[in-house]
Every structure is written in C-alpha cells, then in structure tokens.
Amino acid sequence: MSDTPPDRLSVNPDSPYYDADLLERGIGIRFKGVEKTNVEEYCISEKWVRVAAGKTLDRKGNPMTIKLQGEVEAYFRDDAEG
C-alpha cells in the first residue's frame, strides 16, 4: 500500500470513492488544522469535506451532510503493516 492517502475518499459504500481496505487501515482528517472525526467524504485537491449534520438522515437512511470549504489534510492513523 502507498503511504499517501487518496485525493478523495468516502465512507458511503454506494460511492465510487469508497475503499474498504483504506478505511479499515484508518484515515485521519485535519480540516483547517483541526482534527475531525465526523467526516463522511473529503477531497484534498478541491479543498472540501462533507460532515454529518447532527443525527438527521436522508430518505435513503444516510446521514445528511454539509459541505465545508477549507484546507484538508489526510493521513493514515497507523503505519502499513505487511
């Protein structure tokens, strides 16, 4: 595996940007220098994150999200082990 997280990643299995192996490894997100734990999707090159908007769900049962613009930094929480 690469030591660089992908430019874009989503936690929604229906998304084309979903990658179970990377999510299992553990991705950390810093948005505007602050650690975020509620990120549903991010894009480093376009500088945005989607975060859950409370406990509200859409009609498909997915969390409602808000798109926030700003500096995004993604990193792996642990080192690749074999």
Taking 80 as the threshold, does the pLDDT of residue 2 lie above it? no
Write down the domain spans for the chain.
8-76
Instruction: List, for residues 28-45, the tens digit of each pLDDT value.
Output: 999 999 999 999 999 999
Strand order in the sheet with 39-43: 8-10, 39-43, 48-57, 63-69
Taking 60 as the threshold, does the pLDDT of residue 81 lie above it? no
Average pLDDT, the chain: 90
Instruction: List, for residues 10-27, the tens digit of each pLDDT value.
Output: 999 999 999 999 999 899
